[in-house]
Amino acid sequence: MKYCYNCGNKLKKGDIVCGKCGIELTDNKKEIKDAKVVEEKEVKKEIEEVEEVKEEEKENTTSSTKGSYRNENIKTSNVVNSSDSDEDVPVYLCIASLVCSFILPWFLPVKILYPLIGLGLMIFVRVTYPNNTFGKVLMWIDIIAYTLAILFIILVVVACSKTCGALGKMF
């Protein structure tokens, strides 16, 4: 089957003019053959351009994610999103944890509940946003505060046991 070298329309045997575009077909075989060669070259060129664009996109995506924990985390986990407002979330959670751990117990009843909520928020921040500096500092503040609280409780128990033991002997 022969095709027009200008528009690619199918030609019938003996056609002198293309029925679609109206171009004169003088030397059908030569012009049709030339048209196929030109078309093949154009197709190859388009394929190469598409491949180059794909390679550039690949390079851009890999270079933009290198060194960025946040972008690597997006690929592996759905917990952290890449929007700018999400960078503020761990800060707000850390502030809420500080308020729960150190301020609310002074003003509200059920004093043990609020530090536990603060500890839970701190752990959530450390697990969800492991590179957040505020979360790291808050973790150490909580560790020191809870260690001091445990030592204080131990000292009170020891002091009470000595005092109660002495009082018990008197009665």
Domain coordinates in residue numbering, the chain: 2-65, 84-170
pLDDT at 156: 87
| pLDDT per residue as tens digits for the range 41-75 | 788 888 888 888 888 887 777 655 554 444 444 44
The CA distances from residue 72 to 5, 63, 159, 163, in Å, are 51, 11, 53, 59
* 129 phi/psi in degrees, rounded to 5: -125, 75
DSSP bridge partners of 10: 3
| Contact partners, residue 127, CB within 8 Å, separation at least 6 | none
| Contact partners, residue 79, CB within 8 Å, separation at least 6 | 73, 128
Question: What is the C-alpha separation between 150 and 66, in angstroms, rounded?
Answer: 43
| pLDDT per residue as tens digits for the range 109-146 | 777 788 888 888 888 888 888 888 888 888 888 888 88
pLDDT at 170: 54
135 class by beta-carbon count within 10 Å (0-12 exposed, 13-18 middle, 19+ buried): buried
pLDDT at 2: 75
81-85, 138-142, 152-156, 163-167: which has the minimum mean pLDDT?
81-85
| pLDDT per residue as tens digits for the range 4-49 | 878 888 888 778 788 888 888 765 555 556 666 667 778 888 888 8
pLDDT at 30: 57
For β-strands 2-3 and 10-11, DSSP reports them as antiparallel
Is 54:61 a contact under the CB 8 Å cutoff? no
Q: Mean per-residue pLDDT for 99-105?
A: 81
Q: What is the pTM of this model?
A: 0.41
